Amino acid sequence: MQRKMSAVAAKEVLGFAASRLQDQADYLTSLAGCTSSSEALKCQWDFAQRSWSKSLIDGWKMFDSFNAKRQ
């Protein structure tokens, strides 16, 4: 039972990490296409907002998933 929970937890964490890594790659692609400092600042602001929002939502999903599997 404990190994199964550990495997599920690892899968959740790795999925979260993979998603954030893809977001960073997309952000760098967008940033590379910026032609002005104001455009780059907007790109950075948008990335920060999306990252914070996704991390919060995904963090709660992982927490809920771990709690459900423990019960």
What are the residue ranges spanned by the domains of the chain?
2-70
**Residue 11: its pLDDT value, please?**
83
pLDDT digits (tens, 9 = 90+) for 4-56: 667 777 888 898 899 999 999 999 999 999 999 999 999 999 999 999 999 88
Measured from the Cβ of residue 30, the count of other Cβ atoms closer than 10 Å reads 16
Q: Counting beta carbons within 10 angstroms of the beta carbon of residue 16, is it exposed (0 to 12), middle (13 to 18) or buried (19 or more)?
A: middle
Q: Left if phi > 0, otherwise alpha if psi is -120 to 50, otherwise beta: which for 34?
A: beta
65 pLDDT above the threshold of 80: no
pTM over 0.85: no
Which of the 8 DSSP states describes residue 27?
H
Joined together, the tokens standing for residue 42 give: 């907007």
Contact (Cβ atoms closer than 8 angstroms) between residue 65 and residue 1: no
1 pLDDT above the threshold of 60: no
Confidence of residue 2 (pLDDT cuts 50, 70, 90): low
